[in-house]
Structure 1
Amino acid sequence: MKIAIYTLGCKVNQYETQAMEQELSRRGHEIVSFSGAADAYVVNTCSVTAVSDQKSRQMLSRARREHPGAVVAVCGCYPQTRPEDVRKLDVDLIAGTGDRMGFLDLLEQELEDRRPMEAVDRVFDRRAFEILPAGGLEGRTRAMLKVEDGCVNFCSYCIIPYARGPVRSLPPEEAAARAKELAAAGYQEMVLTGIEISSWGGDLKTGQSLIDLMELLSDAAPGLRLRLGSLEPRTIDGDFCRRAAKLPNLCPQFHLSMQSGCDETLKRMNRKYDTARYFRSVALLKEYFDRPAVTTDMIVGFPGETEEEFAQSLDFIRRCGFARMHIFPYSIRPGTPAAELAQIPAAVKESRAARAAAVADEMRKEYLEGCVGQVYPVLFEQAKGDRFSGHAPNYTEVLVPGSENLHNRVLATRITGTEGFSLLGELEETP
């Protein structure tokens, strides 16, 4: 059968789609484009904001409208958190965020029986981590390894704990085995991903934490560059930094979840740190690593944020000196405590987002300019016109001249300049 999957949302969703595509291919199905002809159309949904829900509905409606005779199936965070809404749509198979392999069994059954089915479980009853195939599709240079699922932080703006349930961790021996498989398959880099990877190991009751897993994976696959997904500031302490700095294949790019640089706003968000603790994490990383790329997310216009609080956030991000930031105007997520608070006008949110983005761009340019003259091992991925593009360990794009195919090669590259938000380089070694 021909099956098409459309993915919305985070890297975990992307990972799970990859895993489903690999398994469907293994079962003999053909993975095709969502815009083409297929026997079944699957939408792997996101529900982080009301806009995400709307996009999910639009993709499901499009699939039904354009392909009335095909099976239309939905899985992911939207049906997990809003099953009553999804039932109103013309969908053949409804599932949530759990048991992806079981979902594929139901999809195959739906293709045969054409009888509407629903399989949405009780998310807080989950205790086991579902082990899925690691990696990506053929031709990928960078693979993802999902090592954790679930979150119990219950930030006031976030629905994800209700979509993903409690923390579950990939057992360390399974993680090591998959890292070795990725290395053997020819990947050059592995990204550890999850809903909240800082909590890895907490449910295993072995006393192990994320740094233990990192050391294990570094030893298991020393030829793979190791990159971390988003981290909570509590992860970064002296012990973590001392041990992490000794890992020869760890990429020095650390995405520290921030959301606000104002203590009062962080309290309303129900974040588990203040700006002093966050800044300590940034300072430790810069102490133990040579010009690490510390990146973050920032929400502006959160309910109750005054102009003074926003100014505090701007001052704070300047102190941190981020290499890159993602700026988001606050978006209401129905069903969360923040949705019930007095909201900031849209125009104010957009204005603050633009002001914060301008500061972020200044810091990003300053970081990139500091890379000039450095030599980095660049993982090359694709041609871009008469140049080849890759990423340095700090996850900055590097462009080198020439039409030679450098795909999936890691080559020492001297940085000679900048172009926009990319680095320009020259190879220091013969391909």
Structure 2
Amino acid sequence: MKVAIYTLGCKVNQYETQAMEQELLARGHTLAEFSEEADAYIVNTCSVTAVSDQKSRQVIHGVQRKHPGAVVAVCGCYPQTHVDDVRKLGVDLIAGTGDRTGFIRLLEEAAAEKRQIEAIDQPFERRVFEVLPAGGLEGRTRAMLKVEDGCVNFCTYCIIPYARGRVRSLPIPTAVEQTRALAAEGYREIVVTGIEISSWGQDLKNGETLIDLLEAVCAAAPAVRIRLGSLEPRTITEDFCRRAAALPNLCPQFHLSLQSGCDATLRRMNRHYTADEYRTIVRNLR
């Protein structure tokens, strides 16, 4: 079966698309560009804003119009949080944000049996991190390593906890194993990513935090650049700064979330820092 995938949204979605690509290839399927003719089309959606929802619908409508005889499968945050809306689109397979390997098996079933399938779970019932193959396809110098899923910050208006569930962390030994494998495959840079990586380790309840993970990953591949995804400002403690500064292959680039410079707005958004605290955090990091 020839399969094409369209990805909307964040780096985690990109990572999970790469994992699905690898699973498809491992199961004997071939990949196509989304603009090409294919037997099946996967739309990996985003739902972080109403605009994201609209873009997801536009892509789904477009592929249905251009390829009426193909299997159309939808996964990701949009069906996880708006399943009734996705049902109205008449696609062949509806799934959410979990069990990517199972999703590929369901795609095969939908194609072989010519029937509609729906597989939406309850994200807050997930307790185990789904380990997926890290990296990407051949020819890419930068790989992604997903180390965390879920979020329990419950910022005002944010839908992500309801799309992704509770925090689940990739254990350090598995992260080290995947890092070494990526280095052996020739990747020169690894981006450590997740839905909310600042909360990494919260569920493990062994005292480990993100800096412990970073020290292990950097040591596992000393010749590879390690880059961090977006961070919550609370991650940047003096201990984090001191230990991060000692990691020669950690890229000195940090993306710190800042929704507003107004304390009243930050409180209304349920952000757990003030403008002055943010300023101090950046000063310590420098």
**1:106 maps to which residue?**
106
Alignment partner of 2:144: what SS? strand
**1:157 maps to which residue?**
157
Q: How does 1:72-87 map to 2 (within 5 A)?
A: 72-87=72-87
For the residues of structure 2 that align with 1:224 and 1:260, how far apart are their CA atoms? 35
Does residue 284 of structure 1 match 2:284?
A: yes
Q: Which amino acid aligns with 1:104?
A: I
| Bigger strand fraction | 1
The alpha-carbon deviation at position 75 of structure 1 amounts to 0.1
Does residue 20 of structure 1 match 2:2?
A: no
Alignment partner of 2:192: what SS? strand
For the residues of structure 2 that align with 1:75 and 1:97, how far apart are their CA atoms? 7
Contact 1:175 1:217 in 2 (8 A): yes
The alpha-carbon deviation at position 281 of structure 1 amounts to 1.1
The alpha-carbon deviation at position 221 of structure 1 amounts to 1.0
Ranges in structure 1 where 5+ consecutive residues have no aligned partner: 287-431
Alignment partner of 1:254: what SS? coil
> What TM-score comes out, normalization by structure 2 length?
0.99
Contact 1:19 1:134 in 2 (8 A): yes
For the residues of structure 2 that align with 1:151 and 1:260, how far apart are their CA atoms? 20
**2:10 maps to which residue?**
10
Ranges in structure 2 where 5+ consecutive residues have no aligned partner: none
The alpha-carbon deviation at position 83 of structure 1 amounts to 0.3
Alignment partner of 2:254: what SS? strand
The alpha-carbon deviation at position 267 of structure 1 amounts to 0.7
The alpha-carbon deviation at position 157 of structure 1 amounts to 2.7
Q: How does 1:258-407 map to 2 (within 5 A)?
A: 258-286=258-286
Alignment partner of 1:218: what SS? helix
**1:148 maps to which residue?**
148
The alpha-carbon deviation at position 63 of structure 1 amounts to 1.0
For the residues of structure 1 that align with 2:157 and 2:137, how far apart are their CA atoms? 34
**2:210 maps to which residue?**
210
Q: Which amino acid aligns with 1:133?
A: P
Give CA deviations for 1:112-136 in whole Å, capped at 9, x if unaligned: 1111000000011010000001001
For the residues of structure 2 that align with 1:122 and 1:90, how far apart are their CA atoms? 22
The alpha-carbon deviation at position 276 of structure 1 amounts to 1.7
For the residues of structure 2 that align with 1:216 and 1:47, how far apart are their CA atoms? 33
Contact 1:72 1:93 in 2 (8 A): yes
For the residues of structure 2 that align with 1:56 and 1:72, how far apart are their CA atoms? 13
Q: Which amino acid aligns with 2:66?
A: E
**1:33 maps to which residue?**
33
The alpha-carbon deviation at position 183 of structure 1 amounts to 0.2
**1:115 maps to which residue?**
115
Give CA deviations for 1:267-296 in whole Å, capped at 9, x if unaligned: 11111111122111100111xxxxxxxxxx
For the residues of structure 2 that align with 1:135 and 1:74, how far apart are their CA atoms? 23
Contact 1:64 1:90 in 2 (8 A): no
Which structure's relative contact order is higher, taking Cα pairs within 8 Å and 6+ residues apart?
A: 2
Q: Which amino acid aligns with 1:282?
A: V
Q: Which amino acid aligns with 2:156?
A: S
**1:193 maps to which residue?**
193
Q: Which amino acid aligns with 1:149?
A: D
The alpha-carbon deviation at position 208 of structure 1 amounts to 0.2
**1:394 maps to which residue?**
none
**1:47 maps to which residue?**
47
For the residues of structure 2 that align with 1:114 and 1:169, how far apart are their CA atoms? 37
Give CA deviations for 1:28-62 in whole Å, capped at 9, x if unaligned: 11110111100000000000111110111111111
**2:246 maps to which residue?**
246
Give CA deviations for 1:239-275 in whole Å, capped at 9, x if unaligned: 0000000001000000001111110110111111111
For the residues of structure 2 that align with 1:27 and 1:87, how far apart are their CA atoms? 28
For the residues of structure 1 that align with 2:54 and 2:8, how far apart are their CA atoms? 11
Q: Which amino acid aligns with 2:56?
A: S
- Two-structure CA RMSD over aligned residues (Å): 0.6
For the residues of structure 1 that align with 2:84 and 2:157, how far apart are their CA atoms? 21
Alignment partner of 1:191: what SS? strand
**1:339 maps to which residue?**
none
The alpha-carbon deviation at position 137 of structure 1 amounts to 1.4
Contact 1:73 1:93 in 2 (8 A): yes
**2:96 maps to which residue?**
96
**1:174 maps to which residue?**
174
For the residues of structure 2 that align with 1:197 and 1:23, how far apart are their CA atoms? 25
Give CA deviations for 1:305-325 in whole Å, capped at 9, x if unaligned: xxxxxxxxxxxxxxxxxxxxx
Q: Which amino acid aligns with 1:55?
A: K
Q: Which amino acid aligns with 1:179?
A: T
The alpha-carbon deviation at position 205 of structure 1 amounts to 1.0
| Residues matched between the structures, number | 286
For the residues of structure 2 that align with 1:6 and 1:203, how far apart are their CA atoms? 32
Alignment partner of 1:74: what SS? strand
> What TM-score comes out, normalization by structure 1 length?
0.66
Q: Which amino acid aligns with 1:281?
A: I
Give CA deviations for 1:152-173 in whole Å, capped at 9, x if unaligned: 1111131111100000000111
Contact 1:79 1:96 in 2 (8 A): yes
Alignment partner of 2:260: what SS? coil
